[in-house]
Structure 1
Amino acid sequence: MTVLRKLARPMLAAPLVTGGLRTLRRPEAAAEATRPVVRAVGKRIPALAGDPLQLVRVTGAIQTTAGLLFATGRAPRLAALTLAATLVPTSLTTHAFWTVEDPEERARQRALFLTDLSALGGLLIAAADTHGKPSLAYRSRHALDHRHPVKAVRRPVEAAAASTAHHAKAIAASLTGSH
């Protein structure tokens, strides 16, 4: 599975890294596409109103950095989650096929949107991937059991095993005559 991760991560990150770099080199085109969305969101949430050009540059830098981290396996879960978070607004603004009148262009934008949607799914799976190790939530739940072993509540299987072992010892002691 490790080889699979080492091959799949760069493949999943490649379009996001190249898109981020493209946006950093020429942010004007992407800023123009995001301008109507930034205005609409800015009216409802004033904290998100801002310069579309600056917003596009920041998004491009985040996608490039998180994509490189993900591709190289450094903080892959956090990088995948970050990429997923930036992919949603990017896809909604750059591939808004529902606003396009021309049928051919609408079909092209729909295909690009669905491609982004599939990448989002892959990134969410990667964000949940623990490499076969227990998750942080699992480890923290079970750390409490080991911190206070006397007060820890036994699970039904453990309780049954302990009870069976106790009875086996008692039977063995009675058969051998030692109490």
Structure 2
Amino acid sequence: MITMIVGEIANFVAYAFAPAVLVTPLGALSIIVSAVLAHFILNERLHALGVLGCVMCIAGSMVIVIHAPLEQEITSVKEIWHMATQPSFLLYVASVIVLVSVLVFHFSPLWGQSNVLIYTAICSLMGSLSVMSVKALGTSLKLTFEGTNQLAYPETWFFMLVVAICVLTQMNYLNKNWEYEHQI
């Protein structure tokens, strides 16, 4: 548990110093490390689909990292806010919120206990918002520590609230997902 917490803190810091398009796929490689460690340390057997999933994860991460666009230097949380309030991004956020709401209030009570994909979809969709919010919050904190106080802007606090909501939602449904898997 301690190493997971340290890893997540390091992941959060990485978003402040590197483009999210690089940090996210490289963070997904922790799944591969966990699978390999479970095989050698816990003597768990990795089935053919598990191996295929690991290979696809590595290949996908490599493709994303190789073709990642350059990220512009951000000097203020106001710049992030400007990008986050573009109509196309707001449409994306609204779509995610609608999908998560439908999954939480309609599908989760009906099939959540019998279909792991419901909880996984909720976590994944919320994860897409939390990655973007963590990037904004991490950049704000980095700029603050460098001497340009971003905590005076309400946008920083808004991103912090979004991170908290996304993380709490993900933790809740990851826990439900874990409970589902251990019932089987």
* TM-score tier after normalising by the smaller chain length: 0.3 to 0.5
Question: Which has the bigger relative contact order, CA under 8 A and spacing at least 6?
Answer: 2
What's the TM-score once normalised by structure 1's chain length?
A: 0.38
For the pair shown, the structure with the greater C-alpha radius of gyration is 1
Normalised TM-score (structure 2): 0.37
